[in-house]
Amino acid sequence: MLKRPLTPETYYRLPWNLADNAITWLEPTTKCNLYCEGCYRENDPFGHKPLADVIRDLERVKQMRRTDGISIAGGEPLIYPDIVPLVRYVAAQGWKPIINSNGQALTPELVRELAAAGLVGFTMHVDSHQVRPGWKGASEKDLNALRLKLAEMIHEHGEGKVSCSFNATIYRDTLSEIPMLTRWAHEHIDIVQTMVYILFRSARKRSNFDVFANGRPADVGDLVYQLDKQEQHEDIDSQEIADAIRLAYPEHEPCSYLNGTEDSRSMKWLLTLRAGNKDEIIGYLDAKFAEWMQIFHHLFFGTYLAYTRPCWTAWLQKLIFLTPFNKSLRQIFGKLLTRPKMWTKPVHIQSIMVIQPCDLFDDGRQNMCDGCPDAIFYKDKLVWSCRVDELEKFGAFIQCAPRSCCGGGTCAPQPAPAPEAAKAPEPAAAPAPEPTPVPEPTPAPEPAPTPVPQAEPVQAPEPTPEPAPAPEAVIAPEPTPEPQPEPVQTPEPTPEPAPVPEAVIEPEPTPEPQPEPVQVPEPAPVPAPRQDTAPATKGMTEPAVKVMTPPAVVAPEPTPAPAPEPTPAPAPEPTPEPTPEPAKAAPAKAAPVKVAQPAADKPAKAAPAKKSGKAAKKKSKAR
């Protein structure tokens, strides 16, 4: 058989919501006289609530929710000692009392009392997964006898004023019974107003989910609706129920639905309205008719509609005046015209409702009924009645999280710091600690004129080939305009270049030059006498006498050179270049560069002194 998919986009979305709904759930007791495999409430032998407490809850419901009917459930409400007064109170508040029962305690006398108290309808839960005395091992077809007995009792002793509905929990092993159950409801359409199929759900100990409640791990095995034998149960959805019904009624087509909280296309409550009599189903009412029914009821009565008395569904012929405005009614009444005998018999409207409870998605989301009609007042809140056991066991609804491991999440940030650490030392090592000896390229001219200091030519070739090109290549790209700003960073390596010039004369005092350049300004007065000596050497009046003595005196002078050497270093600084520069930034550079120059000047002056001495001798001889 070709399956016809359901199309929720063409159905009427029922307008039920949390604050304005057709039904509200009420549990005056949690004590029950049967065991139902699909039940979600724990049987408590002492579960009867005082009537005053139940009425107090209803007063709060009146403040929190506009509702048309009150579904009195449990537990088993028919064994609640104050069931008749409770029904009377609900009816007095303008609500429609509906009793959800397993029918085990129903008697003709009780039906009459409840009908007199204002009861509008019964919903009897009968299926083959109940442990019912006298019906052990009975199939769904066998239980039709019990259904018919209950339906006839309600119809007879309720005087046709109390509607009758039947619930059946559908399991995977009873899915094939859907066509039979739907035909049975059709055969008794005159006394059975609604047939409800509740799809079985249970909490399962799935290995691929972690379950939490209030942020703490929770054991679903503590829940009453966790069944070990149903761990492998495959959930059924509304589409499967529709396909099963169409095996018996190919024209079956729903008209309205209630979507899920996580999936807008899921059909959590799926309603079908069909018209006919015990012999034939004439047609199906469409989405527009379902919309009119809800709107008109809300307009005239202030609430949305779920249950009504049989007199409103017994004679479809009364709606003939709406045929010009509704296509489905025109089709139905068109068939009635070809069947004149049917006009003398009532054409009933029968509802078929499919309820699809919570769906657990692969990502852990739980798809509940959006605007659930069966919301219950619990601890000053309206909550899902099918999950109250979680609140009582864990204090909160359970949440499911799929078990998964994240791969590589922490690896990505780790490689990021590695390159940064690699880049950090590069600029630190690359800057000028090595190129700082750049000031020494100036001594390059010194080796030629200064043969006396042997240390100078030893160090001069080492820095001259390497630092001379290196500093220009390294420093030039960074501060191309001026190499001097880098010496601001060189103060760290300054101790190295400072000793370099002194090492030229003597490598021993290399650690001391740092304080010496700081004290450089103090020996400033020393160059003054040397400036006086310079013109004396230049004087030609007495060159012979003075020239002969200085070479002997100059020869021993290089030995005690460490003391006088700091004096010449500052002497040339002020003379050729502005003094502020060495004081501020580049004392190290100015000192080595100019130390070499005065050193060269002195031997240069000494040399001509000797020459002048020889020339003097020659001149003296000539004279």
Give 591's pLDDT tier (boundaries 50, 70, 90).
very low
pLDDT at 486 over 90: no
End-to-end CA distance of the chain: 146
Strand order from edge to edge, sheet including 399-402:
216-217, 209-213, 399-402
d(CA 297, CA 97): 17
In this prediction, residue 407 carries a pLDDT of 38
| Contact of 612 with 604, CB cutoff 8 Å | no
Query: What whole-number percentage of the chain has pLDDT above 70?
Result: 64
- pLDDT tens for residues 333-379? 999 999 888 888 999 999 999 999 999 999 999 999 999 999 999 99
The per-residue pLDDT of the chain, averaged, comes to 77
- pLDDT tens for residues 411-468? 333 444 444 444 444 444 444 444 444 444 444 444 444 444 444 444 444 444 444 4
Tokens linked to 357:
């409870």
Higher pLDDT, 221 or 541: 221
| Contact of 72 with 83, CB cutoff 8 Å | yes
In angstroms, the Cα distances linking 78 to 136, 185, 345 are 22, 24, 35
In this prediction, residue 207 carries a pLDDT of 72
| Contact of 272 with 286, CB cutoff 8 Å | no
d(CA 488, CA 602): 32
391-398 own/partner pairs: CB under 8 Å, 24+ apart: 393/218, 393/222, 393/223, 394/213, 394/214, 394/218, 394/222, 395/213, 395/214, 396/213, 396/214, 397/213, 398/203, 398/211, 398/212, 398/213, 398/218, 398/220
- pLDDT tens for residues 103-142? 999 999 999 999 999 999 999 999 999 999 999 999 999 9
The answer for residues whose C-beta is within 8 angstroms of residue 357's C-beta and 6 or more apart is: 198, 199, 201, 268, 369, 386
**25-34, 100-109, 466-475: lowest mean pLDDT where?**
466-475
User: What mean pLDDT is predicted for residues 480-499?
Assistant: 47
Q: What is the 3-state secondary structure (H, E, C) of 574-587?
A: CCCCCCHHHHHCCH
Handedness of CA 105, 109, 111, 117 (dihedral sign): negative
- pLDDT tens for residues 282-334? 999 999 999 999 999 999 999 999 999 999 999 999 999 999 999 999 999 99
Domains and CATH numbers, the chain: 8-402 (3.20.20.70), 440-484 (no CATH)
- pLDDT tens for residues 387-408? 999 999 999 999 999 986 443 3
Tokens linked to 122:
């019964």
Q: Count CB atoms within 10 A of the CB of residue 21.
A: 24
The pTM of the full predicted model, rounded to 2 decimals, is 0.66
Q: What share of the chain is helix, strand, coil (3-state, %, to 5)?
A: 40, 15, 45
What one-character DSSP code corresponds to residue 226?
Answer: B
pLDDT at 182 over 70: yes
Tokens linked to 556:
């021993």
Give 2's pLDDT tier (boundaries 50, 70, 90).
low
Range from 188-202, 432-446, 491-505 that averages highest in pLDDT: 188-202
In this prediction, residue 376 carries a pLDDT of 96
The answer for residues whose C-beta is within 8 angstroms of residue 413's C-beta and 6 or more apart is: none
In angstroms, the Cα distances linking 380 to 47, 56, 59, 61, 218 are 19, 11, 11, 9, 24
Nearest of 332, 300, 295 to residue 316 by alpha carbon: 332
517-523 own/partner pairs: CB under 8 Å, 24+ apart: 517/569, 517/582, 517/587, 517/588, 517/591, 519/566, 520/566, 520/569, 520/570, 520/573, 520/582, 520/587, 520/591, 521/570, 521/583, 523/566, 523/567, 523/570, 523/571
Q: What is the 3-state secondary structure (H, E, C) of 532-580?
A: HHHHHHHCCCCHHHHHHHHHHHHCCCCCCCCCCCCCCCCCCCCCCCCCH
| Orientation angle between helical segments 83-92 and 51-64, nearest 10 degrees | 30
In this prediction, residue 268 carries a pLDDT of 97
Cis peptide before 260 (omega within 30 of 0): no
In this prediction, residue 341 carries a pLDDT of 87
**9-18, 196-205, 474-483: lowest mean pLDDT where?**
474-483
pLDDT at 589 over 60: no
Handedness of CA 532, 538, 543, 549 (dihedral sign): positive
In this prediction, residue 440 carries a pLDDT of 46
Range from 12-26, 223-237, 464-478, 579-593 that averages highest in pLDDT: 12-26
